[in-house]
Amino acid sequence: MLGGLLAGLAAILSPIALAAPATPAGAPLALRVEHQLSSLGSDGVKRDVAFAERVYRAGNAVWIERELPRGVPHEHEQESGKGGGGHKHVDLSTAARWIENPPSGKLSVTVVSDHLKKVFDVKPAEYGNIGFDGSWPTAYHLLDPAALKQMRAVGPLRNGAQQYQAQRGGESVTVWWDVAGQFPRSVESRNAGGTSTKLTRVTTVATPQRAPWERARAYARGEYTDLMD
């Protein structure tokens, strides 16, 4: 998931955990996040992966949902068991993530199934299973702004974005940071040999009239472990 791809940048920049700054509540913002990953293996085979997600943030909540191209079956069309006779289940790779940061500071992390009309609470020990690193700044900004302090600003602002660069452990990273929106317009990393590259592009899209989590507030609640049955 998105969090897992971008959260790793801090680890590349510094072996010491970065302190997360307080994140003020902001105006609603909707983003489309495109990921492209390419790797060339020792067997000479090049492997490319591409997918996109939609992110909506407002106040103290963030919603992250995989974008499925036309023709791809949604979670409710997938079944467990053989011969199509099994029970319906949630596809964790495409289910929406709903993350809230209340005043108490104790994160609420859930996986949402619209088909089952149910939200599943995810405990901290299970965050890794859904590609979440437990960082609210990373969830809200897509990239923890604290990581930029470990990078070198390059040149002046261009169209409202500042470029940052860093190199550590044979991997180079370039970030274009949207100053007003406080999110990365792009993050590109590559290893020294150029055999592994990752590119994330982020664009703003029209904000929905209604926050996506509003429909989920009335859903029944369950535990993430229920999905393991």
Q: What is the pLDDT of residues 4-35, one digit of tens each?
A: 555 555 455 443 333 334 334 578 999 999 99
Number of structural domains in the chain: 1
Q: What is the pLDDT of residues 171-182, one digit of tens each?
A: 999 999 999 999
What does pTM read for this prediction?
0.83
Is 164 a domain residue?
yes
Is 67 a domain residue?
yes
Residues 112, 98 contacting (CB under 8 angstroms): yes
Flag residues of the chain having pLDDT under 50.
10, 13-24, 75-87
- pLDDT at 83 (0 to 100): 43
The range of the structural domain enclosing residue 140 comes to 2-72+89-228
Task: Give the CB-side neighbour count of residue 10, counting CA atoms within 13 A.
Answer: 19
- pLDDT at 68 (0 to 100): 87
- pLDDT at 141 (0 to 100): 96
